[in-house]
């Protein structure tokens, strides 16, 4: 007994010693810093800014880097058009504009407390590190300028809905690299809900399979957003305000300085991406006129989340007989009417529309003249044609809408939508009051009259790349009535017919055949002689 116990003891000790000698000490392999070990983060935090202060004790330049980015300023100058763009300035045909609605909109600002013009853009402590670096998935911001709930909070005020407090210390101790979840917390939910705005970005990309996106496939390549959208000095590459229509550069190579957009297909795949298959050379030849996305994203909104395709603000404001706002849903549970917002058309698995695009985008901004009599107003007009040598045929989500404008001054308007005050449209359903407040804040004239006009907004599609087996087939374009039926300025075999050209082709083919046969006949006859 005694011997057996000693033997057991010796065995355990030996095993432990051998294990300790052979195996390296356990550690985290996905980071060089375990933030839970930092004393600065081992305390209670009463606000997001307190967390930022702690972050800045080590990451001394981070906030100043953020201050230089469009994620902070919500503003950028397009050097080609000299238009001042960014979320702060543009008008769209979803929720129309940020304007006086910052309390809600700024839940997606990388800062704390932006509700009006008094926000201090020079404050480093106003930078929100956690919105991008949370890995716990528990971080939240309230529609009060994006402050996190450090205690249980009724939000919106008076709604009776309680948002549970979050533990900022726990979240701060788990910070890490950005992920599809952190970027997606805003970019998947643009326009007021999951998948509403982009069409090819929604919550299905948080953990997608290969069918939804070959690059982000969670069990495959598992790209994060920053795999393509590189962010040196916190400045994320690849802007929809100044996109790359045609990347003529080669694939990026480590060590080689390359200032071209790292988020294009070509920045990895180069200019001749097709190496195998039936006709790689023929497919590569297409890359001169056709964007990669045109063939490789056959549909968008493929992950089971519907996207908005049409938003009619002119029908907003209907109330029930009891004077209550209405909310109607379709058979699948999608909201198709909301008294606060009007009628919606939503769709999944949408086949894109196609257009020539060279990367130039010109927005209709506040103050630009618009007229209902002109037909459809383009929220963003895309540059591009078959002839300019800088364009490719791109797939687009075309968002169509009917939105308020000032028929006297002939301008789009920035209404005050959200808020608990008397003039917010979502509270009082009065367009005149809401627009007067919004335009006054924007320092823009408003006649007091409101009408509605039809608008279109173009969204180049670039995510939700399908497996190559699901790429658009030749006969989907090379046919009459196919995907590229409306594309002008280019001859597409199978779609286009020109009598003279066809005649020349047939004559050439027939002549060649006749020549070969005649030649063969002469050879046969001469051999017999």
Partner 1 sequence: MKVHRLVSTLIACGLLCASTLASAYDADWKRGRIYYRSVCTSCHAAQAIGAINPSSMSKAEWNAYLQKDKHAKGKDSVKQYFSKSYRASIRSQNKAADKFADLPDDELFEDVKLFLLKGAKDGDAPASCG
Which of 395, 346, 91 is CA-nearest to residue 196?
Answer: 346
Which of 172, 234, 233, 139 is CA-nearest to residue 34?
Answer: 172
Shortest spacing between CB 188 and partner 1, in angstroms: 13
Burial (CB count within 10 angstroms: exposed 0-12, middle 13-18, buried 19+), residue 60: exposed
Tokens of 526: 């001469």
Report the DSSP pairing between strands 451-460 and 377-378: parallel
* 304 counts as binding partner 1 under rule CB under 8 A: yes
* 159 counts as binding partner 1 under rule CB under 8 A: no
* 137 counts as binding partner 1 under rule CB under 8 A: yes
Q: How far apart (Å, rounded) are the C-alpha atoms in residues 278 and 350?
A: 28
* C-beta of residue 242 within 8 angstroms of C-beta of residue 84: no
Stretch that binds partner 1, among 50-58, 132-140, 155-163, 230-238 (CB under 8 A): 132-140
Which residue is it, tokens 């004239």?
445
Shortest spacing between CB 370 and partner 1, in angstroms: 40
Choice between 33 and 319, CB closer to partner 1: 33
* Helix count and strand count (H, E) for the chain: 15, 15
* 179 counts as binding partner 1 under rule CB under 8 A: yes
Q: How far apart (Å, rounded) are the C-alpha atoms in residues 379 and 454?
A: 10
Burial (CB count within 10 angstroms: exposed 0-12, middle 13-18, buried 19+), residue 270: middle
Choice between 209 and 353, CB closer to partner 1: 209
Residue in 40, 209, 432, 476 binding partner 1, rule: CB under 8 A: 209
Residue in 39, 48, 72, 138 binding partner 1, rule: CB under 8 A: 138
Tokens of 308: 């908005």
Choice between 14 and 121, CB closer to partner 1: 14
Shortest spacing between CB 452 and partner 1, in angstroms: 36
* C-beta of residue 68 within 8 angstroms of C-beta of residue 150: no
Q: Which residues in 66-96 are b (16+ Cβ under 10 Å) and which e? A: bbebbbbebebebeeeebebbbbbbbbbbbb
Using CB under 8 A as the binding rule, the residues of this chain from 9 to 38 that contact partner 1 are 9, 12-13, 16, 25-26, 28
Task: List, in sequence order, the alpha helices (H) in 106-189.
Answer: 130-133, 168-172, 180-187
CB atoms within 10 A of CB 45: 20
Residue in 163, 169, 218, 471 binding partner 1, rule: CB under 8 A: 218
Stretch that binds partner 1, among 8-16, 141-149, 336-344, 355-363 (CB under 8 A): 8-16
Choice between 20 and 278, CB closer to partner 1: 20
Q: How far apart (Å, rounded) are the C-alpha atoms in residues 464 and 445?
A: 42
- Binding to partner 1 by CB under 8 A, coded x per residue (else -) over 180-199, reads -x------------------
Shortest spacing between CB 236 and partner 1, in angstroms: 21
Choice between 202 and 360, CB closer to partner 1: 202
**Dihedral class, residue 82 (left if φ above 0, else alpha if ψ from -120 to 50, else beta):** left
Choice between 37 and 254, CB closer to partner 1: 37
Shortest spacing between CB 213 and partner 1, in angstroms: 14
- How many of the chain's residues bind partner 1 (CB under 8 A)? 28
Choice between 204 and 437, CB closer to partner 1: 204
* 220 counts as binding partner 1 under rule CB under 8 A: yes
Stretch that binds partner 1, among 204-212, 266-274, 436-444, 508-516 (CB under 8 A): 204-212
Choice between 35 and 341, CB closer to partner 1: 35
Q: How far apart (Å, rounded) are the C-alpha atoms in residues 139 and 127?
A: 15
* 8 counts as binding partner 1 under rule CB under 8 A: yes
Stretch that binds partner 1, among 40-48, 103-111, 134-142, 390-398 (CB under 8 A): 134-142
* 321 counts as binding partner 1 under rule CB under 8 A: no
Going from the C-alpha of 252 to that of each of 117, 213, 228, 249, 295, the distances in angstroms are 41, 22, 11, 8, 23
Shortest spacing between CB 2 and partner 1, in angstroms: 6
Choice between 393 and 464, CB closer to partner 1: 464
Shortest spacing between CB 45 and partner 1, in angstroms: 17
Choice between 26 and 323, CB closer to partner 1: 26
Shortest spacing between CB 3 and partner 1, in angstroms: 10
Q: Give φ, ψ of 116 to 5 degrees.
A: -155, -170
Which of 263, 240, 235, 306 is CA-nearest to residue 66?
Answer: 235
Choice between 370 and 464, CB closer to partner 1: 464
* C-beta of residue 380 within 8 angstroms of C-beta of residue 361: yes
Q: Quick check: bond before 99 cis, omega within 30?
A: no
Choice between 305 and 472, CB closer to partner 1: 305
Q: Which positions touch partner 1 (CB under 8 A)?
A: 1-2, 5-6, 8-9, 12-13, 16, 25-26, 28, 136-138, 164, 166, 179, 181, 204, 207, 209-210, 218-220, 303-304
């Amino acid at each position: 007994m005694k011997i057996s116990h000693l033997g057991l003891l010796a065995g355990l000790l030996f095993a432990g010693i051998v294990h300790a000698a052979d195996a390296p000490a356990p550690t985290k392999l996905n980071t060089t810093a375990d933030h839970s070990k930092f004393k600065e983060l081992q305390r209670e935090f009463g606000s997001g800014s307190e967390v930022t202060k702690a972050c800045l004790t080590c990451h001394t330049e981070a906030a100043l880097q953020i201050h230089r980015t469009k994620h902070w300023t919500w503003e950028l100058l397009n050097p080609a058009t000299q238009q001042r763009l960014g979320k702060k300035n543009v008008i769209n045909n979803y929720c129309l504009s940020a304007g006086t609605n910052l309390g809600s909109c700024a839940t997606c600002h990388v800062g704390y407390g932006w509700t009006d013009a008094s926000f201090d853009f020079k404050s480093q402590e106003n930078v929100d590190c956690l919105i991008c670096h949370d890995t716990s998935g528990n971080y939240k911001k309230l529609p009060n300028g994006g402050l996190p709930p450090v205690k249980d909070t009724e939000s919106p005020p008076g709604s009776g809905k309680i948002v549970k407090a979050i533990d900022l210390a726990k979240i701060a101790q788990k910070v890490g690299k950005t992920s599809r979840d952190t970027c997606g917390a805003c970019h998947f939910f643009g326009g007021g809900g999951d998948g509403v705005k982009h069409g090819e970005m929604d919550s299905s990309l948080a953990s997608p399979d290969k069918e939804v996106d070959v690059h982000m496939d969670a069990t495959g390549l598992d790209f994060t957003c920053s795999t393509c959208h590189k962010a040196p000095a916190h400045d994320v590459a690849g802007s929809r305000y100044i996109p790359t229509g045609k990347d003529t550069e080669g694939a990026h190579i480590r060590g080689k300085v390359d200032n071209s957009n790292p988020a294009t297909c070509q920045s990895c795949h180069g200019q001749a991406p097709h190496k195998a298959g039936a006709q790689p050379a023929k497919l590569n030849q297409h890359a001169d006129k056709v964007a990669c996305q045109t063939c490789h994203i056959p549909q968008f909104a493929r992950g089971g989340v519907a996207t908005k395709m049409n938003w009619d603000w002119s029908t907003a404001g209907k109330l029930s007989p009891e004077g209550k706002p209405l909310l109607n849903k379709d058979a699948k549970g999608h909201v198709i009417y909301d008294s606060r917002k009007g009628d919606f058309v939503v769709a999944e698995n949408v086949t894109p529309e196609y257009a020539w695009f060279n990367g130039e985008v010109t927005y209709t901004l506040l103050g630009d003249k618009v007229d209902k009599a002109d037909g459809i107003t383009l929220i963003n007009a895309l540059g591009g044609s078959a002839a300019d040598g800088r364009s490719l045929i791109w797939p687009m989500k075309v968002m169509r809408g009917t939105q308020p404008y000032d028929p006297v001054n002939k301008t789009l308007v920035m209404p005050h939508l959200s808020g608990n005050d008397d003039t917010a449209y979502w509270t009082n359903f009065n367009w005149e009051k809401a627009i007067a407040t919004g335009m006054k804040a924007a320092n823009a004239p408003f006649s007091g009259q409101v009408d509605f006009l039809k608008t279109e907004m173009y969204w180049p599609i670039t995510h939700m790349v399908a497996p190559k087996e699901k790429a658009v087939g030749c006969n989907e374009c090379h046919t009459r009535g196919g995907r590229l039926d409306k594309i002008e300025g280019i001859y597409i075999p199978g779609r286009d017919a020109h009598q003279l050209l066809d005649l020349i082709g047939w004559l050439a083919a027939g002549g060649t055949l006749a020549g070969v046969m005649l030649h063969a006949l002469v050879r046969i006859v001469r051999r017999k002689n």
